[in-house]
Amino acid sequence: MHRSCNDRAVDSGSGAWDGIDTVLCDLDGVVWLAHQPIPGSVEAIAGLRSSGRRLLFVTNNSAAVRAQHEAALSAIGIPAEGDVVSSAMAAASLVRPGDRVLVAGGPGVVEALEERGAEVVVNDGQGSADGFDAVVVGLHRDFDFDRLSVASAAVRAGARLIGTNTDSTYPTPTGLQPGGGSILAAVAAASETEPVIGGKPHEPMAELIAGLLSTPERPFDPTRVVMVGDRPETDGLFARRLGCRFALVRSGVSRPGARIGDDIVVEFDLPDLRALARLASSSDLRQ
């Protein structure tokens, strides 16, 4: 069976699923919208796991600490202890232990940086902007002009500018909301500096995932992995960076019928996670 994605043939037949034993799953727009599960997603994840496949939740949401991600998933019936990888973790890999870091982001960024061994100062819009090795920017809801001023001044004073991600929006049940990338764009513009990015689709997140999926007995094998996401310019390009397949689900940012950039390779074009689980199941039955 073939489906069309921008007039290109997309193989959504069960045979294309053969050999996939690891699913990298985005959260916002794939599993839930503002922590409200998308219909069928909980059952889909349970089905994929019952088939013996490994699930990792790979999210550019940097605001929450790891335990909050896990608790939110548990609350909708998805056990996830140790299975959530966030852009905060990827961004933290870009600083050195002992670095003094100004955080213009949420608690998830603070947690990841402290685990890295950095000295963390949360940006409250007050105090000196001098003496920082890096400024790490992610989504936070108290961002304002004073915080922008301090963060951009710290970068102009010599601190490296690191972003957790460049997602300008994220999906909610009531529509798109501004994402961490919008805040990062403001700091980058005010400091006239190009940031280094940790999260999808960039190399730090790819290195983090490859490391988590590698063992001494079995190195990372991208041919056995599929990245499932709703944002082609993030999840699709991340799949390309990893060298794995990309499954686009149109339950979040990418709406049904929306055109996809010609630089994005979509192996599976499906309405939602439930449809993807059905595809995987039909492959299992065929073998």
pLDDT digits (tens, 9 = 90+) for 9-44: 455 554 578 789 999 999 999 999 989 999 999 999
- What tokens were used for 227? 């990245």
Q: Which residues are catalytic?
A: 26, 28
Which pTM does this prediction carry?
0.90
2-60+201-286 homologous superfamily: HAD superfamily/HAD-like (3.40.50.1000)
Burial class, 161, CB count within 10 angstroms (exposed 0-12 / middle 13-18 / buried 19+): buried
Domain locations in the chain?
2-60+201-286, 92-197
Contact between residue 63 and residue 105 where contact means Cβ atoms under 8 Å apart: yes
Statement: 92-197 belongs to CATH 3.40.50.1000: yes
Pairing of strands 169-172, 160-163: unpaired
Cα–Cα distance for residue pair 164/24, rounded to 1 Å: 18
Q: Is the pLDDT of residue 215 over 70?
A: yes
pLDDT digits (tens, 9 = 90+) for 95-122: 999 999 999 999 999 999 999 999 999 9
pLDDT of residue 79: 97
pLDDT digits (tens, 9 = 90+) for 235-271: 999 999 999 999 999 998 888 888 888 788 999 999 9
What angle in degrees, to the nearest 10, is found between the helix axes of 107-116 and 66-75? 130
pLDDT digits (tens, 9 = 90+) for 146-178: 999 999 999 999 999 999 999 998 888 888 899
Residues with Cβ within 8 Å of residue 97, at least 6 apart in sequence: 116, 117, 118
Cα–Cα distance for residue pair 139/90, rounded to 1 Å: 15
